[in-house]
Amino acid sequence: MRYFIELSYDGTAYHGWQIQPNGNSVQETLQRALSMLLREEIAVTGAGRTDAGVHAAMMVAHFDAAALPVPKVEARPQTACDYLVYRLNGILPNDIAIHRIYPVADDMHARFSARSRTYYYYIHTRKSPFLRDRSWRLVHTPDFEAMNRAAAMLLDFEDFTSFSKVNTDTKTNICHVTSARWVQLSDHEWRFEITADRFLRNMVRAIVGTLMEVGRGTLTLDGFREVIEQKNRSAAGDSVPARGLFLVEVKYS
């Protein structure tokens, strides 16, 4: 039977979501815990592949299992799915939290059945000991009004080759961005919010890095449009640090 699993994680200590040959990953950690509890080899497929150091306020994944462990009489809650959530949270490290497990149709796929994904990127301009692993600190405040005008242009395009890592196994660089904007959270905190049907590797961090050039005045609005039209990663700005990026929502039909 197929199950969806909803979880969150702090990506600081991991080499991303996907299993890596020489680094600890969230996927591998979750698979190992599930396989131990269910006493069978479990493969987990995520809705996306967050890079090293990127966080997830909500990741969705699926796995297939013959049966879930039967709750003990004294255990609370009593459903098999809730009991598995309880057991997983008891053995997983503190930087991974399981929120929900539920059965789905056999043809549901965490990645390919998803209709949209939303990412937030956080920045701050005042030194804070509490934001250093969750947000990117800037020394100077950029022009957010200009950056929002540039962000709106993303909705006019479908090919985002300029914001993708090169030499990936992706068959197409076509994405449909439905929302992109900067939101002020406080006098010294902002976040970039972007929603699309899919994202390319490194896409959000490359977009934010290029928007920062607009905010600093080193790239005009027309120049930002030309960056997208060139379909060339070398034309775009540098990728911003991973620590400010969060996957926050995955939606399904």
Please give the positions annotated as active site: 51
Cβ–Cβ under 8 Å, residues 32 and 96: no
For the chain, the farthest-separated pair of C-alpha atoms sits apart, in whole angstroms, at 66
Contacts 24+ apart (CB under 8 A), 220-225: 221/146, 221/149, 221/150, 221/153, 224/150, 224/153, 225/153
Write the CA distances from 87 to 72, 92, 97, 131, 207, integer angstroms: 11, 9, 11, 31, 39
**151: number of Cβ within 10 Å:** 23
Tokens of 173: 């660089």
Ramachandran assignment for 63, one of left (phi > 0), alpha (psi -120 to 50 degrees), beta (any other) = beta
Cis peptide before 129 (omega within 30 of 0): no
Write the CA distances from 11 to 50, 141, 237, integer angstroms: 9, 26, 24
Instruction: Report the alpha-carbon angle 14-95-71, nearest 5.
Output: 120
Partners of residue 43 on adjacent β-strands: none
Query: E strands along the chain, which residues?
Result: 2-9, 44-46, 55-64, 96-104, 114-124, 136-137, 177-186, 189-196, 245-252
